[in-house]
Structure 1
Amino acid sequence: MDQQKARFIVGTGRCGSTILSKMMGLHPDVAVLSEFMVSMDIVNRLGQREISGEDFADLLDCGVKAGAGEYKRIVNHLRTPEILFKGGTDNLPDTVEGYKDGVFPEILLIPLAQLFDDPEPVFHELIDFAKQLPLQLLSEQYRVVFEWLCKKAGKTIWIERSGGSIFCVDPLLELFPEAQFLYLYRDPLAVALSMQQHNHFRVMTFEMLDLETEDGIRWGDLDETDLNNRRPMSDRLASVMRHPVPLEPFLENVRDTSLAGLAAVDKLTEEQYRAVSFERIMTTPKEALIDIADFFGLSANEEWLDSASALLNPDQLAKEPEDPALRALADEYCGEVMHRLRALDKHAV
């Protein structure tokens, strides 16, 4: 296949990029590689260098070195909605035999499961294909594999979308200097509240802050009898899963990752980025999709616009709480970020 321009959707975690990736995936030409980059070896997935096919295959099939790391050992208990493999976490088996480190490969759990009805054979075929690739630049290995997946899915254009990827713009530019970045942003309060309710973000923050449950359990107290996918979950893990986490760390996450992303976006040309708010997609989806399609050089026929818009829940924005104290807290942490994001977005109000 002819080499194509790299296209990325970036943003903070919980910014709405999951639903946008599903909308874009309905386009007849587009293969969305959802959560692909964060599904790989988190230390070695970036950084331009020459790499063999064998080593690149190892980045793809990396066990617990992926973005979710050791949390994949309790993927059944985290019950994250992004996982589509075998119908979601409720249908995943308790044990994982034959996969590295005894965990499901992350590219199997999310990106391949979104692209293919039967992703397991595709995963094994992909790894075998990657192993045969010659020694070449890391960026070329990515391009070959992404375009291979495009062809396998019967599509012609790939768009990579990973949650929380806004802080990766600089290293992605090192790999793909010509890349286009759609920057999806969302009200920081809504993002932080969504993170606070999302099992993965909450448990990860519980560990990071070294919190302690009411019955005296810290993350460091858990061992292999707790950190597994067997049902029901252990009492100690259940205690951690129930424990609340304050909102402030999530607002800090939004602020810090956004500021890092904005610093990188400042280096891009106007042709390389476009900022779109999640709220705009929710309120005027067809208009927003036409703008996104224009940016990425895609057609925007009515059939796609209708089917993509139908994925949205129009009541979602109305359900988001508007507590004055929480709003003041969000403005304290993220007021500068929102001011700068609106300056990037020509459609911002």
Structure 2
Amino acid sequence: MTVLPQTPLFIVSTGRSGSTMLSDLLSLHPDILSLSELFNALHPHGFRQDPIDGPGFWSVLSEPRPRHTAWLRLMERGLVIDEFRYPVASALRFRETGIPPLLAMTLPLLGDDPDGLHEALGIFVQSLPEARIHQQYLRVFQWLCARLGRRFWCERSGASLGLVQPLSHFFPDAKFIHVFRDGREFALSASRFPLMRMGLISAMFKRRFGTAPYLAPTYQAPEDLPAAWRGLLPESFDVDAFQQFELPLEPIGVAWSEMIAVGLGMLETLPAERVLHVRYESILDAPRDELQRIVRFMDPKLDDPAWLAQAAGQVRKNPIKWLNLSPDERDRLEAACAPGMALLRRFS
């Protein structure tokens, strides 16, 4: 298959804002390869060397990340992490060596044989001559398109608004679709989402004890750790204790406002025609109009009425939840989210 000549296209968000839904809908398009969580999977070493040869680049793509091994241990204890796409029962063979990041998060969504795809990708990447790292990524994306019978690629990683700076640096002509959501709904969703709960609890541990769990397979518990916190540790992890641990919403709202401010600041350094702001709630309200606007921004050649009808038909309403909070919680959460909401108002 001939891959379309294209501008690099990245979907970014704060997370919990509908970007996964959008990626899934785009994956239904016969010409679009939506790469989910690729740069998330490779973090923090996705751009560690530039230029880089084929074997070195394969090391970037395949070297296990300690946090995935830590996640696997928690999943053995019953935690569900949807972003870890490789079957858990099969992933247990990676307990000691660690699982390759793309195998953990990205390749299982692209077919029924992620191991075979990973092996073939490794052969291709290790044969590449030295080049700038963004050129190596482009070669990989084009190879995946040709291998999987698609003609246009996009990449989406959750909570990737903070990646705009490196992505725009290494891909200077890139286009960005920024998916955003009501910050109050984000805060509620984030407070229940396992990976964000890990991040929030880790930050709490780091403030109090100077070190954080979940970033590595093992963690040395502080001697003065409160008994109620022991079920949060990897070595004594208890799913119920983790899910029921109370996290205040106000700091989540504050963090969301800060992410929006920083992310919009980075996006506003780019030419306006290379950025599309998409409100999650607008997709729910008018899926055909919004999906058509999105795909035409990506490339007008991708306009496909059959895909549009199929994708729009899969969008489901998501009822507002933050209004169910107590009046005091609502007031505090609204105040925390107000700065970010004000910045986004012009795109709503």
| TM-score, length-scaled by structure 2 | 0.85
**Any conservation in 2 of the 1:8–1:160 contact (CA below 8 Å)?**
yes
- The residue that corresponds to 2:74 in the other structure is 74
Query: How far apart in 2 are the matches of 1:78 and 1:145?
Result: 32
Pairwise CA distance, 1:100 = 8.3
- Shifted more, 74-83 versus 23-32: the winner is 74-83
The residue type paired with residue 177 of structure 1 is: P
- The residue that corresponds to 1:35 in the other structure is 37
- The residue that corresponds to 2:285 in the other structure is 283
- The residue that corresponds to 1:85 in the other structure is 86
- The residue that corresponds to 1:217 in the other structure is 230
- The residue that corresponds to 2:143 in the other structure is 148
- The residue that corresponds to 1:89 in the other structure is none
Q: Sort the Cα spacing of 1:3 and 1:143 in 2 relative to 1 into closer, same or farther, 3 A.
A: farther
Match of 2:332 among 329, 334, 337: 329
Query: How far apart in 1 are the matches of 2:333 and 2:118?
Result: 41
Q: Sort the Cα spacing of 1:170 and 1:285 in 2 relative to 1 into closer, same or farther, 3 A.
A: same
Pairwise CA distance, 1:138 = 0.6
Q: Sort the Cα spacing of 1:307 and 1:319 in 2 relative to 1 into closer, same or farther, 3 A.
A: farther
- The residue that corresponds to 2:218 in the other structure is none
Pairwise CA distance, 1:30 = 0.4
Match of 2:22 among 16, 20, 23: 20
Q: Deviations over 1:57-116 (max 9, x none)?
A: 1111121256x5733432453312334434xxxxx217632x485433332233211121
Is 2:163 the counterpart of 1:173? no
- The residue that corresponds to 1:206 in the other structure is 201
Is 2:120 the counterpart of 1:117? no
The residue type paired with residue 253 of structure 2 is: L
| TM-score, length-scaled by structure 1 | 0.85
Pairwise CA distance, 1:2 = 6.5
**Any conservation in 1 of the 2:261–2:343 contact (CA below 8 Å)?**
no
Secondary structure of the residue aligned to 1:160 is strand
Secondary structure of the residue aligned to 1:215 is helix
Match of 2:260 among 240, 258, 261: 258
Query: How far apart in 1 are the matches of 2:229 and 2:9?
Result: 47
- Shifted more, 319-328 versus 282-291: the winner is 319-328
Secondary structure of the residue aligned to 1:276 is strand
Query: How far apart in 2 are the matches of 1:43 and 1:75?
Result: 22
Give aligned-pair identity as a percent.
28
**Any conservation in 2 of the 1:139–1:176 contact (CA below 8 Å)?**
yes
Match of 1:197 among 179, 192, 195: 192
Cα root mean square deviation, aligned:
2.5
**Any conservation in 2 of the 1:63–1:100 contact (CA below 8 Å)?**
no
**Any conservation in 2 of the 1:96–1:102 contact (CA below 8 Å)?**
no
Pairwise CA distance, 1:322 = 4.5
Q: Deviations over 1:158-211 (max 9, x none)?
A: 000000001111110111111000110001111111111112211332222028
Q: Sort the Cα spacing of 1:116 and 1:138 in 2 relative to 1 into closer, same or farther, 3 A.
A: same
Q: Deviations over 1:190-237 (max 9, x none)?
A: 111111111221133222202866635275x543xx4xxxxxxx55x6
Pairwise CA distance, 1:131 = 1.6
In the TM superposition, what are the counterparts of 1:36-75 in structure 2 within 5 Å? Answer: 36-40=38-42, 42-46=43-47, 49-65=50-66, 68=68, 70-75=70-75
Q: Sort the Cα spacing of 1:290 and 1:325 in 2 relative to 1 into closer, same or farther, 3 A.
A: farther
- The residue that corresponds to 2:99 in the other structure is 104
**Any conservation in 1 of the 2:50–2:133 contact (CA below 8 Å)?**
yes
- The residue that corresponds to 1:157 in the other structure is 152
Q: Sort the Cα spacing of 1:263 and 1:69 in 2 relative to 1 into closer, same or farther, 3 A.
A: farther
Pairwise CA distance, 1:46 = 2.7
The residue type paired with residue 288 of structure 1 is: E
**Any conservation in 2 of the 1:72–1:104 contact (CA below 8 Å)?**
no
Query: How far apart in 2 are the matches of 1:240 and 1:183?
Result: 31
**Any conservation in 2 of the 1:213–1:243 contact (CA below 8 Å)?**
no
Secondary structure of the residue aligned to 2:35 is strand
- The residue that corresponds to 2:211 in the other structure is none
Structure with higher helix content: 2
Query: How far apart in 2 are the matches of 1:109 and 1:47?
Result: 20
